[in-house]
Amino acid sequence: MQNEVTKPISRKQVMALFENKPLEFSPGTKWNYSNSGYVLLGFIIEDITHTTYYAAARKMIFEPLQMTHTGFDFTHLAGKEKAIGYMRITAEVQTPAPIVDSSVSYSAGAIYTTTGDLYKWYQSLKNNKIISAASFNLAATPVLNKYGFGLVIDSVSGVRRISHGGGIHGFTTNISMIPGEDICIILLNNGSNSFLEAITESIYSILYNKPYEIPKERTAIAIDEETLKQYEGEYELSPGFVLTVKNKAGKLMVQATGQPEFEVFAEKTDLFFLKVIDAQLQFKRDAQNKVESLVLFQNGREMPGKKIK
């Protein structure tokens, strides 16, 4: 997914990526999301149906539900309605994303679709058109970590909520539903950012008369370079995950382990925000006024990081 996403890959090549690797834990004892697990499910579908995963999905789901704007092979899809995905998009910079070949993302995320077609999918689940009520309830029963069979299950205002998000180069998605009250929220975004979960939560707050905030544009202020240098360093948020902060010619740059470098902008002294994603950094100082840690605010979570270098 890092370097070869645009090139077709064979089943044998995909399997070779993970088939001989050790399990992270004994089956049934823990849970962790696994793209490889979903890919393996796709191969199982092919073995059972004696056809391709793509053909099986069309025959069993897309065609019966008349999901006419849904399919595979986004690379060769033609038409003016086709969206362009962006790895980075701001007022100053627009970086188109490479299109991931369907054989690479496969049954872990190769489907292109629309909000309208996903609403047909929701209606099929609510009205038991594709699978029975018993099967849907089984899928929507949490096993570990609020996860069922490809579904995240939690609650809002005391009622069961069923959701799942996704992301691939240049695109993010979120679908969340409360079938018992006929509520379905579908959000698709042609940018590699994490806004959708927060927007979904705000919509639920509106629906259930809970407090919410209207998004507002943050205004950047100037910070002198001597102060910017005080923030430089490495901050460990978790084992193996570090934020590296550098001052580059009066710009404060932040790079997370394995991710691109981005500029952060000062909202006030010690508080910075990113423009490419909805995230903020709050730097913390000790009794001697030296920066000793930070807190990353993202997706409704607060992740502290101690300065290690």
User: pLDDT digit string (tens) for 142-154?
Assistant: 999 999 999 999 9
pLDDT at position 232 is 96
122/116 Cα distance (integer angstroms): 10
Q: What is the pLDDT of residues 96-135, one digit of tens each?
A: 999 999 999 999 999 999 999 999 999 999 999 999 999 9
Give the SS3 label for residue 197.
Answer: helix
Whether the CB-CB separation of 166 and 196 falls below 8 Å is answered with no
Extract the tokens encoding 283.
């730097």
Looking at residue 7, the DSSP 8-state letter turns out to be S
The DSSP H or E segment spanning 185 is strand 183-189
Higher pLDDT, 216 or 156: 156
* pLDDT tens string 210-242: 998 887 888 999 999 999 999 999 999 999 899
Helices (H), the chain: 11-18, 35-49, 53-57, 102-105, 115-126, 133-139, 195-207, 225-229
Given this model, what pLDDT does residue 61 score?
97
Cα→Cα distances 2→7, 61, 100, 222, 241, Å: 12, 30, 10, 35, 18
What are the structure tokens assigned to 280, written together? 């903020």
Where do the H-state alpha helices sit in 66-219? 102-105, 115-126, 133-139, 195-207
Q: By the 8 A CB rule, do 228 and 248 touch?
A: no
pLDDT in tens, 175-213: 999 999 999 999 999 988 778 988 999 999 999 999 988
- pLDDT, one tens digit per residue, over 94-106 is 889 999 999 999 9
Q: Is 208 exposed, middle or buried (0-12, 13-18, 19+ CB in 10 A)?
A: middle
